[in-house]
Amino acid sequence: MCSMWKTIYTCVKCGDDRTEVTNIEFCHQEECESSNIYENHETETCEDCEEPEESNYVYD
């Protein structure tokens, strides 16, 4: 089956400055038999941040 999923991680504990660190994984299968598209976007991690918490998770 074709599936689309997206995971977003956000970290906002970076000292006095409210900095968001987002880790987005996106997988989309448009044509199940032959076409796969994978995109992975990751930003730098805050030095003083705790481990990123999973804020949003979508799975269709």
Query: Shortest CA distance to 28 belongs to which of 38, 40, 43, 18?
Result: 38
Q: Residue 44 to residues 30, 47, 50: CA-CA distances in angstroms?
A: 30, 9, 13
DSSP bridge pairs for 6 = 26, 58
Q: Is the pLDDT of residue 1 over 50?
A: no
List the structure tokens of 22: 């987002």
- Decide: pTM greater than 0.95: no
Confidence of residue 53 (pLDDT cuts 50, 70, 90): low
List the structure tokens of 6: 């997206």
Per-domain residue ranges for the chain? Answer: 4-59
CB 22 within 8 A of CB 12: no
pLDDT digits (tens, 9 = 90+) for 2-47: 445 544 444 444 455 444 554 444 444 443 333 333 333 344 444 4
